[in-house]
């Protein structure tokens, strides 16, 4: 393949015909050796950033980057589940929402707040309470009217 017909142009490492591009920075290279040298010289990871980390350009979006992001998100979800199972397995957190009788709750909600969230959910409202100590939670005067 000649340089004039290559869509990638020439390798920036050795000026041969480029066959590959770096997923992280689009550096054109001709071989594994040039690719490795590029990573060392420019301190490049060679790992493509997720689509959401890049400036949005509609002409560059495609099925590949979106699937790569979906895979990344799924991987994060799997890792979070794995850590949660490990914490429960090591008995660092209980499997239920309540700790043994007489101990404090994991989520620091009172029974009244828990009932408020359940009642709202039964009416189709997803209610999320701010953590204790947040100034907006202290000022919030919202109440549930069961009428």
What is the full DSSP assignment across 53-109? GSPP-GGG--HHHHHHHHHHHHHHHHHHHHHHHHHHHTTSS-SSSS-STTSPPSS--
In a domain, 113, yes or no: yes
| 1, 40: one domain | yes
C-alpha to C-alpha distance for 20 and 11, rounded to whole angstroms: 9
| 111, 130: one domain | yes
pLDDT computed for residue 2 by the predictor:
47
pLDDT computed for residue 94 by the predictor:
62
| 85, 107: one domain | no
| 40, 1: one domain | yes
In a domain, 106, yes or no: yes
| 74, 32: one domain | no
Residue 18: domain span: 1-49
In a domain, 121, yes or no: yes
For residue 44, give the nearest of 56, 29, 63 by alpha carbon. Answer: 29
Computed from CA positions of residues 103, 104, 106, 112, in that sequence, does the dihedral angle turn out positive or negative? positive
User: What is the number of structural domains in the chain?
Assistant: 3
pLDDT computed for residue 101 by the predictor:
52
* Regions of the chain where pLDDT drops below 70: 1-6, 51-61, 91-108, 144, 146-147
């Amino acid at each position: 393949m000649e340089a004039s017909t290559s869509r990638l142009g020439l390798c920036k490492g050795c000026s041969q015909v480029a066959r590959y591009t770096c997923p992280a920075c689009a550096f054109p290279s001709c071989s594994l050796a040039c690719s490795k040298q590029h990573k060392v010289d420019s301190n490049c990871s060679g790992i493509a950033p997720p689509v959401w980390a890049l400036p949005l350009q509609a002409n560059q979006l495609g099925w590949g980057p979106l699937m790569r992001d979906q895979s990344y998100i799924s991987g994060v979800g799997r890792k979070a589940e794995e850590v949660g199972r490990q914490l429960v397995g090591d008995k660092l957190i209980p499997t239920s929402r309540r700790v043994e009788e007489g101990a404090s709750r994991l989520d620091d909600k009172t029974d009244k707040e828990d009932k408020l969230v359940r009642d709202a959910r039964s009416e189709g409202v997803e209610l999320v309470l701010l953590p204790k100590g947040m100034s907006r939670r202290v000022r919030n005067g919202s109440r549930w009217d069961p009428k």
